[in-house]
Structure 1
Amino acid sequence: MQASTFLWFDGHAEEAADHYTSLVAGSAVLDRQRDADGRVTTVTFELAGQRYIAYNGGPQFTFTGAISLYLGCDTQQEVDTAWAALTEGGKEGPGGSLTDRFGVTWQVVPKALAELLAKADPPAAERILQAVHAMTKIDIQGLIEARDR
């Protein structure tokens, strides 16, 4: 048995899968299924080992922020690159969240956030979290400065 994330699109499954796999190292489109007219219906892809299925199901269902994809970034450069690519045509949100041009919500979070919180005393942790909530794209240096205040 295998669990995968199933994403319902209104005609943009292939474009979304191609966009996402271009952003995340170690990712690839695995399969494209087409209907009798040659139109792509389903795209199976992996993002860094996590399998997703993108389906062109029509307008019946839309994405909401109640579920999001989490992108843990190793560096500020990774945060910046992913943020720029995912917000293009999309919308920034608070605390590292955004909605991309396909309507999918993402959490773009540097791994440094967890590391800083794990080593912080309670007042420093509170300052770090307040800083995160005041940001759109998370800035690691800003988190360090909040911790050290």
Structure 2
Amino acid sequence: MSRPIVPCLWFPDRAEEAMEFYCSIFPNSRILSIERYPDESLDKHFTGMSGKVLNGRFVLDGTTFVCLDGGPVFTFNEAISLTVECADQDEIDHYWTSLSASPEHEQCGWLKDRYGISWQIVPANLAELMTGPAQTQALMGMKRIVIDELVNAG
């Protein structure tokens, strides 16, 4: 029996804040559960982690995620991104404005948020909009995708 794939996000120390932030941006979203690290006096392996998120579960617009506060051992990078397929320019603008926190990392609909996660904010019909070299050239010059500019390219 097939099970859904559930992404796990390793935050250095702000998992609960990130869950609340993402749930405030996406519709049909909510925090499902938070298990916390035990008091560090009970286990020396959890020094400095008392009360932080050991295992968080949340839903963003129907997709379940898990997350944790794992310390600075691992960090996010652009090798993995989360893609939001938008119905129209208003949706693109909403997600772009809400999530973008690092202008130097913006290109072709890609952005990086305040937690270091890379996102692709794209029109759901991007493949249909990319009808030739002029559209590809227009896309490569964009940070936030502007649908009208793709339609009118060429």
Give the TM-score, by structure 1 length: 0.86
Matches of 2:22 and 2:124, distance apart in 1: 20
Residue 14 of structure 1 aligns to a residue whose secondary structure is: helix
1:103 matches 2:110: no
- Overall identity of the aligned pairs, in %: 39
Q: Which has the larger radius of gyration?
A: 2
Task: Identify, as 1 or 2, the structure richer in helix.
Answer: 1
Matches of 1:49 and 1:34, distance apart in 2: 24
Runs of 4+ in 1 over 4 A off after TM superposition: none
Of 26, 35, 38, the match for 2:37: 35
Query: Residue in 2 aligned with 1:7?
Result: 9
Shift of 1:96: 0.3
Shift of 1:112: 3.4
Residue 34 of structure 2 aligns to a residue whose secondary structure is: strand
**How many residues end up aligned between the 2 structures?**
140
Moved more, 100-109 or 17-26: 17-26
Of 139, 151, 154, the match for 1:144: 151
Q: Unaligned 5+ residue runs, structure 2? A: 40-50
Residue 64 of structure 2 aligns to a residue whose secondary structure is: strand
Shift of 1:36: 2.6
Query: Residue in 1 aligned with 2:89?
Result: 76
Matches of 2:145 and 2:37, distance apart in 1: 41
Contact 1:113 1:143 in 2 (8 A): no
Q: Unaligned 5+ residue runs, structure 1? A: none
Deviations 1:104-126 (CA, angstroms, capped at 9, x unpaired): 00000012322323xx3xxxx22
